[in-house]
Structure 1
Amino acid sequence: MPASGTPPRVTAPSGIGIVLAAHGSRLPEALATLEAFARNVAAAYPGCTVLPARTMGEMHRGRHLRPLFGAKSVDAAFLEMARLGVSRVAVQSLHVVAGGEFTQVVEGARRARKSGAFAAVAVGGPLLRGPRDAAAVAETLLVGLPRERTPDEAVAVMGHGARGPARDIYAALAGELSRRDARVFFSTLDRNREDAARPDSNIGRLREAVLRSGARRVWLMPFFSVAGAHARRDLAGDEDHSWRGVLSRAGIECLPVLNGLLELPRFARVFQDRLDGALAEMTKPKKNEPDIIGAS
C-alpha cells in the first residue's frame, strides 16, 4: 500500500466515492489496522471520498456495541455519499471470503443502485471470491510464514468459518495449503466452547493432525482481515477452549503471530487490486450498464 503523499496507483476521476466494508472490531489494535488501510486508500486515490462501513452488526444482530472506527452500515455509508453529492461509488469488501457478510454488501450496493441516487455502483470482491482464488491466496500466505519457522514445525491457520458455498471455498484453501506444505493446517472456529470440547470438533481434528505430523511446535496465525477478538481470545488466548489451550495440553508448544491480513503488504495489495478492478470497470463507458459492476 502506498504511504501518504505517494502517487496514486491508478487514475480515478475525482468525485468518485469509495466505501470500505469490513466486518469490524471493538479492539483498538484492530481498529488501528482498519484506519491505516483507509488512510492508505485515501492517499492512493486523491480526490475520492473514502468512507468506512461495518457489516458485523448486521450478522450479529447488533450485539457488538462499538461500531468499526465510527462507521455505520453499508446502507448508511451510501446515504452519506448521496448527501455529499457523490454519484459514482465503488464498494470494496475487506472480507476474506464470499460468505454471508459479502452477500449483504452486494445487496446493499444493489439497493443503492436501484434507489436512483447513483449513476454507477461497483463492488470489489473479497480475498477469496471463489475456489479459483484458493491457489493464489495459499501461495501468498505461505510466502509470509514466519522466517524463524523450521521444517519440523507446524503452522495452524484459523479462519472464521462460514455457511453454504463459502465452506467449499475454505476447503479449497485448506487443500491448496496442505498440498504445498504438509505441516500447514487450516481450520475454522468452532461455534462455542461446548463444540470445541467435542472429540470431533475442528480444533480436536486439528490437534490430531498436528500430532500425526510429528510436529511438537506450532505457529498460530489468524486468517482474518484484522487480528481482533477471535485471534486474541479463540486462537491465542489462555482459555481452555482456545486453540492455544487445546494444543498446549497436548504437549505442543504454541507460538502465536497476531497479524491481520491487512497488516501484511502482499494481502493488502490483493484488496487494493480488487478495488482497482472495480474502479476501472465503473469508469468504462457502458451502453447498458448493469445494476452492479464487478460483484464477484
Structure 2
Amino acid sequence: MSKTAILVISFGTTYPETRKKTIKATEEAIANKFPDADVFEAFTSNVVLKRIEKNEGIQIDTPSEAIEKIRSLGYQQLFVQSLHIIPGHEYHLVVKSLSPYAKDFEKFVIGKPLLTSLVDYRDVKNYLVGMNDLADDEAVLFMGHGTATDIAFTAYGCLDHMLMGTRNYLGTVESWPDLKMEMARMKSDGIKKVHLFPFMLVAGNHANKDMASDDKNSWNSQLQKAGFETTPHLVGLGESEFIQNQFVKHLRVAIRSAVNE
C-alpha cells in the first residue's frame, strides 16, 4: 500500500485561540475522515510564521518546507487541501508553487477552496442564512477579505447577490462590495440592528480590528455612527462543522479524480 500524506494549507493567524478553533479543528476533521493518511500543516504567510515563532516559540512550515519534509519521509501519495475561501490570488500562488512537486509523487492533487462551484455557493448561502434567527429589523453583515487583483473579486459580489432578501449581507475589507454599499442596502431594507461576523476562516486581525473594534474606522464604529445597533461575533468560519466538511468534500473530489486517472 502506498504511504499517503495530506497537507492542509492556510494563510495562518497569530491569534492562538482562533487558530485552535478553526485551522486545527479543520485539520482534525480531515484527519478523522482520512484515517489511513498522515496530516501535515503549512501556513503561507511569512509574517504570521515569524510572529508565531517569536511570540509562541512554535515553528510551522511553509508549504515548500512541508513538502520537502513529506518527500524526505518517503510518502508516495500527497493530497493537498487549501483552506482558502475563494480561488483568488493566494490560492493560485499555492498552486503555482506546489505544482512542480507533482512529479515527485505517484499521486498528487490540490483540493479546491471553499467557494468554487455553483453547488458550493448554494450550500454556503443556505448555511449562512440558517445560522441565525432574525427579527424583521435585524440583519447579519459578514465581512469578507476581498481581492482587487484577480477576477475572483466577483466571488463576494456573487454570494452577496445570492443572499438578497434574506437579511444577510456580505461586504469586503479590500474590494467589492464595500461597507458603504451594504449600509445603504440595509438602511433601504429597514434594518436597525446588525450582527457582525467574519466571512473568513479565522477570527484574526481583520475580524478583531477592522470589524469588531472601537477604532473609528472599524465596521463596528462606522455602523454605529450611521445609526445601527451592532453586535460583533468573533467566530471564524473554520469553527463550523459544516465548513470543515465542505473542505473534506473538496479533498474527496480531488482524490477521486487522481485515483481514477
Name the TM-score, length of structure 1 as normaliser: 0.79
Q: 2:200 aligns with which of 215, 218, 224?
A: 224
SS in structure 1 at match of 2:50: coil
The answer to whether the aligner puts 1:99 opposite 2:99 as a matched pair is: no
In the aligned structure 2, how far is the partner of 1:184 from the partner of 1:46? 37
Who is 1:3 aligned against? none
Shift of 1:174: 0.9
Who is 1:18 aligned against? 6
Q: 2:256 aligns with which of 259, 276, 280?
A: 280
Shift of 1:72: 1.9
Counterpart contact for 2:29–2:244, Cα < 8 Å: no
The answer to whether the aligner puts 1:85 opposite 2:69 as a matched pair is: no
Shift of 1:23: 1.1
Gaps of 5+ in 1: 1-12, 192-199, 287-296
Inter-CA distance 67–53: structure 2 relative to 1 (3 Å threshold):
farther
Counterpart contact for 1:98–1:126, Cα < 8 Å: yes
SS in structure 2 at match of 1:66: helix
The answer to whether the aligner puts 1:186 opposite 2:174 as a matched pair is: no
Q: 1:32 aligns with which of 20, 24, 27?
A: 20
In the aligned structure 2, how far is the partner of 1:139 from the partner of 1:89? 32
- The one-letter amino acid paired with 2:33 is A
In the aligned structure 1, how far is the partner of 2:177 from the partner of 2:20? 33
- The one-letter amino acid paired with 1:27 is Y
RMSD: 2.2
Q: Give the aligned length.
A: 255
Deviates more, 1:125-134 or 1:245-254: 125-134
SS in structure 2 at match of 1:150: coil
Shift of 1:64: 6.0
Q: Deviations over 1:42-101 (max 9, x none)?
A: 2322231211111223xxxx4763359742221111111101101211110101100011
Gaps of 5+ in 2: none
In the aligned structure 2, how far is the partner of 1:18 from the partner of 1:201? 35
Inter-CA distance 132–280: structure 2 relative to 1 (3 Å threshold):
closer
- The one-letter amino acid paired with 2:162 is E
Counterpart contact for 2:2–2:77, Cα < 8 Å: no
In the aligned structure 1, how far is the partner of 2:72 from the partner of 2:101? 13
Who is 1:123 aligned against? 110
Inter-CA distance 101–67: structure 2 relative to 1 (3 Å threshold):
farther
The answer to whether the aligner puts 1:161 opposite 2:146 as a matched pair is: yes
Name the TM-score, length of structure 2 as normaliser: 0.89
The answer to whether the aligner puts 1:53 opposite 2:42 as a matched pair is: yes
SS in structure 1 at match of 2:41: strand
SS in structure 1 at match of 2:51: coil
